[in-house]
């Protein structure tokens, strides 16, 4: 599923209402939509993108090994560089692997995040049409550099994130790698989800934590409060609370 949904009118129901039309739900389980928004700019070339791809495979395997999470967690992957790509649209991991991501180009983070928001809104409409309940969606952003998006698009993205989080339409969590601009990530992050900084490129341990966290979320009741925040002294994936 590699549809190209335009972001010119993000989160506009009139533009996205029929986007997933014709697709049938694979089961009647409550769904948990997650969008991974991943930096594939040229600064990720070499070991960083190699380790990111390895971490993604670990994440998929661990979710597939959890019967409940495998039936409920729908994962989309949006990558950004000079352009934005839908590496994988929303689906369960059954029979749909995460593709290998290649790195090059600049860092259009803002458009990547806006695309994630747009797809979440489209998917929620589809859930309602299918009669499915769903958990509050998550957007997880991973980047290692300065955003090269236009200031206009950055401002638009930040406004969309803050409003969407305030209205409880989704949660967004940003993770910075190595030379990421943590001040910018703090500026774009909604209250309650401060950006986190990874030490090095230990994506394997990060994605082990992420899969464990979403196993916990998908096993919870719909309105149950689940705290998956990393603790400063308990961060096996070496994330430092920023």
Tens digit of each residue's pLDDT (9 = 90 or more) over 166-198: 999 999 999 999 888 999 999 999 988 889 888
The backbone torsions φ and ψ at residue 228, rounded to the nearest 5 degrees and listed phi first, read -110, 15
For residue 146, the model assigns a pLDDT of 87
Region 1-24: mean pLDDT is 62
Q: Angle 109-130/151-166 helices, nearest 10 degrees?
A: 40
Region 113-140: mean pLDDT is 95
Model confidence, pTM: 0.91
The pair of three-digit structure tokens given for residue 136, joined into one six-digit string? 């509050």
Residue 97 binned pLDDT confidence (cut-offs 50, 70, 90): confident
Domain boundaries, the chain: 29-223+230-241
Q: Does domain 29-223+230-241 have CATH number 3.40.50.410?
A: yes
Is residue 190 within 8 Å of 157, Cβ to Cβ?
no
7/157: higher pLDDT: 157
């Amino acid at each position: 599923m590699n549809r190209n949904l335009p972001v010119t009118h993000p989160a506009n129901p009139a533009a996205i209402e029929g986007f997933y039309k014709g697709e049938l739900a694979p089961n009647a389980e409550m769904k948990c939509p997650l969008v991974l928004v991943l930096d594939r700019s040229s600064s990720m070339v070499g070991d960083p993108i190699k380790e990111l791809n390895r971490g993604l495979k670990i994440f998929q395997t661990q979710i597939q090994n959890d019967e409940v999470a495998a039936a409920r967690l729908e994962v989309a992957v949006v990558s950004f560089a000079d352009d934005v790509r839908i590496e994988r649209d929303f689906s369960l991991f059954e029979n749909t692997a995460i593709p290998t991501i290649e790195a090059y180009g600049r860092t259009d983070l803002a458009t990547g995040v806006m695309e994630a928001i747009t797809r979440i809104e489209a998917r929620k409409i589809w859930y309602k049409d299918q009669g499915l309940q769903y958990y509050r969606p998550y957007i997880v952003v991973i980047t290692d550099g300065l955003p090269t998006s236009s200031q206009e698009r950055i401002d638009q993205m930040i406004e969309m994130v803050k409003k969407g989080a305030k209205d409880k339409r989704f949660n967004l969590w940003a993770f910075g790698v190595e030379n990421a601009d943590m001040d910018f990530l703090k500026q774009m992050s909604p209250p309650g989800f401060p950006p986190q900084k990874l030490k090095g490129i230990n994506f394997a341990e990060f994605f082990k934590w992420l899969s464990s966290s979403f196993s916990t979320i998908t096993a919870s009741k719909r309105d149950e409060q689940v705290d998956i925040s990393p603790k400063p002294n308990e961060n096996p994936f070496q994330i430092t609370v920023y």
